[in-house]
Chain A
Amino acid sequence: MPNGYIGLLAEEARSFTVDGPLKSITFDFLGKEWIVSESVVVQWVVMLVLAIFFFVLGRNLKVVPTTRRQMIAEYIVGTFTGQVDDSMGPRYKAYRPYIGALFCFIFLSCIMGIFGLRNPTSDVSVTGAWAIITFVLVFYTKIKTGGVKGFLKSYVEPAPFMLPFNIIGDFANPVAQALRLFGNNVSGMVIGGLVYFALGGIAGGLASIGIPAVLSLYFDLFSAFIQSYIFVTLTMAYVSMAETD
């Protein structure tokens, strides 16, 4: 949440959102006070979980899979390989690990609310950072495929008067991409908090057991999956559309 003015309305609304057990870390370094926000700490947890999970999956691989562990690993890798090849073509082989890692990272970040931690994706600077990576990849692809000349020329195509629209389009994509993920997660968090708040008043709080689980299933699992899929698909679409010749 933005730390702007906290009004009466905001005090009320703030209690709807989830505050996880992890807190931000403050430390002194080089005579200055540095703050590591809660969303970064939760992302470290996500990274640790993913690293351990895939390390365990990837150990002792054989040419002919015999264990269920290797079947799962091959299924995951095969799915992402197929997705990238379908959307971007085999020329973009190098994007397979990035897209796979990005999807797993976003999905696990989005479902952190289930485990009682605060979603890192409900922080606009986190989703903004991911969108900036896509933004840089788009520029990299443009310059790599067309050279600097083709890159500059792509802005005056199909006609020179399109120049401002092309520039706005380039900058609007990452903004929309970041706000999409952020908006979906925050809306889920706020609606979930509101429902908890409302049900807490019925039957002395007993009503808030069980019923919000249905909402959580939709917002945390379904929406998280769809949104991370959309983020990854849009990344692939933007990068492969950035090709200039």
Chain B
Amino acid sequence: MEQAIVLAASAIGAGLAMIAGLGPGIGEGYCGGKAVEAVGRQPEASGAITKQMIIGDALAETTGLYSLIIALLLMYANPFIGKL
């Protein structure tokens, strides 16, 4: 019974952790939109802008990946089961 509760809570927690995917989505979309604007204004600088955009995207993505790691931990290497 206790195990079932912990497993169910872990599954729900893994799902809830992925709500953090919202943040990178908004951030990267904003980043991409601004990059398109910048290329529209200055097409000759598109190479440099793309590089900056990808670095910005990669940094914005980090929080989402941390939440993914937590979800994976809850699914594959659950730390709470051992405490029962």
Contact = CB atoms under 8 A, between A and B. Distances in A.
Given A176-B62, A180-B58, A180-B65, A4 B77 contact: yes
Interface in A134-184: 176, 179-180, 183-184
Interface of B: 3, 7, 10-11, 47-48, 51, 54-55, 57-59, 61-62, 65-66, 68-69, 72-73, 75-79, 81-82
A7 B78 CA distance: 7
A14 B76 CA distance: 7
Q: Name, among B48, B58, B59, the residue most crowded by chain A CB atoms within 10 Å (CB to CB).
A: B58
B76 A230 contact: no
A10 interface: yes
Contacts of A186: 68, 72
B78 A230 contact: no
A2 B76 CA distance: 7
Contact of B7 (A3, A9, A14): A9
A8 interface: yes
A5 interface: yes
A180 B54 CA distance: 13
A190 interface: yes
Interface in A1-36: 1-5, 7-10, 13-14
A9 B10 contact: yes
Contacts of A9: 7, 10-11, 75, 78
Given A233-B51, A234-B58, A2 B65 contact: no
Contacts of A125: none
Interface string A223-237: 000100110011001
Contacts of A237: 55
B62 A10 contact: no
B58 A230 contact: yes
B78 A10 contact: yes
Contacts of A179: 62, 65-66, 69
A229 B50 CA distance: 12
B3 to A, nearest CB: 8
A234 B61 CA distance: 13
B79 A4 contact: yes
Q: Name, among B3, B48, B54, B72, the residue most crowded by chain A CB atoms within 10 Å (CB to CB).
A: B72
Contacts of B77: 1-5, 10
Contacts of A184: 65
Interface string A210-245: 000000000000000010011001100100000000
B76 A13 contact: yes
